[in-house]
A and B are shown apart, each in its own frame.
Chain A
Amino acid sequence: MLLRESSRILGQDVDVDAVVDGGRPVVDADYGFPAGAELLAFASAANRVANPAMVSGGDDGQVDAVARLDDTRDKLLAAVGPDGLLEAAATVAAFNGLVRVADGTGIALDDAMIVVSSDIRSHLGLDTMAGAANTRHLGVIPAIDVAPEGSVGRVRSLFADRSA
């Protein structure tokens, strides 16, 4: 949702399907935004090394994963510089925590999120995931007090602390 909103603001035609499909080839891929291939290859490599249970092939697979992470880090550094690499590493780290607090406490999608993400969830088949069971009224458009208007309204309604 935030990817789609921000790409609209920046006028970039991001290939969301490819972004969320880690199995697609990334070499020279065009994701519709600068350094997309380098960023996504780095994210995938970092996730695999940080989560060895996800890596198939046992110890050999993990050795390969570490080498791949080193390679993708070098390429990302060349593409976006040290501050960009820092941002990418911090984002991967933050979301390795965020998915765990979300899935570990069984939160539902916010009502506003159900509304604005219905088409992309359907397109990507996300409603079949285990975590979807925590949102009991998927498929039902909930009544929300104030429909989020504009990009800031949509962002604030989804993730930002509206009390802030």
Chain B
Amino acid sequence: MRDVRTWIEEARREATEAVARPGDWLTAVERLDVWQESRRADDDPIDRARRAAVSPAAVSDRHPDSEHLSAAAVDVVHRVATDPGRLIRAWADERIAELGAETYTELVGLTAIVRCLDTFTVAVGHEPDEPPRAVPGEPARHRPDDVGDVGAWVPQSIDKTMANVSRTLSLVPETNQAWRALVNSHYSRGEEFLDLNWDRALTRVQVEAVAARTTAELDCFY
């Protein structure tokens, strides 16, 4: 059996390196800005005011551009980072109109990756990782052929054998690969996922209880 600690460490290192490489539609410096903005959002007064408001739409203040990201892109990162449970389609449609569905999806995926990386660090009690240096180069700019409207806000894989949560980032394959490797190492672990009585340090019930508590606290319906 593969050593879980090593598996997680390798996936974290690979995901960190992936964030610092040119991605699907964003350059490396733009992707690394996502990481910085995700962290900045935690102490941002606009985000805190939105979080405290009855509706996030009640706060009209807007984030400025970051060093490498437009204001619209910064808004996506901050909203996904700090108030994901109250995102609505009208807001997403506005951002997608400004950024394009591909870039929007890449921003969402990168925010998820860096929150996963940073949350693990917090949970185990380590100091935050220093983001690596940006790797020069151009994004892949590849839109997969097998994506379409499957009812989500962005095009996703039309492969009906996949659960919706497994195809969220299928529009951006470079980012999706790094994301799925993280989820596989940290939680699902391939075919082991199908075993409701798996042989891990925590039972399936214990793991799913932690998962349920986390999704509840982040107001996630799915």
Contacts and interface: CB of A to CB of B under 8 A. Distances in A.
A97 B179 contact: yes
B205 A161 contact: no
A102 B165 contact: yes
A102 B152 CA distance: 9
B104 to A, nearest CB: 8
B87 to A, nearest CB: 5
A3 interface: yes
B206 interface: yes
Contacts of B85: 99, 103, 129-131
A39 B109 CA distance: 27
**Most A CB atoms within 10 A — which of B84, B166, B214?**
B214
A3 B209 contact: yes
Given A100-B111, A163-B161, A94 B168 contact: no
Interface string B84-110: 111111001000000000000100110
A155 B182 contact: no
A31 B206 CA distance: 10
Contacts of A49: 122
Contacts, number: 317
A22 B216 contact: yes
Contacts of A155: 193-194, 196
Contacts of B197: 6, 9-10
A6 B188 contact: no
Contacts of B219: 129-131
Given A100-B84, A156-B194, A94 B187 contact: yes
Contacts of B82: 51, 53
A115 interface: no
Contact of A10 (B111, B151, B182, B203): B203
The B contact surface, by secondary structure, is helix
Contact of A33 (B43, B115, B205, B215): B205
A133 B89 CA distance: 9
Contact of A105 (B117, B161, B168, B215): B168
Interface residues of B, number: 87
Q: How large is the interface on A (under 10, 10 to 19, 20 to 34, 35 or more residues)?
A: 35 or more
B134 interface: no
Give the most central of A43, A52, A92, A129: most B CB within 10 Å.
A92
The 8 A-B residue pairs whose C-beta atoms are closest, nearest first, are: A131-B221, A106-B153, A83-B201, A104-B108, A97-B116, A93-B120, A89-B123, A99-B220
Interface of A: 2-3, 5-7, 9-10, 12, 14, 16, 19-22, 31, 33-36, 39-40, 42-44, 46-54, 69-70, 73, 80-81, 83-110, 126, 129-136, 151-152, 155-164
Given A105-B169, A106-B152, 19 more contacts: A3-B205, A3-B209, A9-B204, A19-B209, A22-B213, A36-B209, A39-B210, A47-B214, A49-B122, A53-B48, A53-B83, A80-B202, A86-B8, A90-B120, A97-B112, A101-B165, A101-B179, A102-B165, A104-B168
Interface of B: 4-5, 8, 41-43, 47-48, 51, 76, 80-89, 92, 105, 108-109, 111-113, 115-120, 122-125, 151-154, 156, 159, 161-166, 168-169, 179, 182-183, 185-188, 190-191, 193-194, 196-197, 200-222
29 contacts: A7-B205, A14-B209, A33-B209, A39-B202, A42-B210, A46-B123, A53-B41, A53-B83, A81-B201, A86-B201, A87-B202, A88-B123, A89-B124, A91-B202, A92-B123, A95-B211, A96-B214, A97-B182, A98-B187, A98-B220, A99-B84, A100-B111, A102-B220, A130-B87, A131-B221, A155-B196, A160-B193, A161-B162, A163-B159
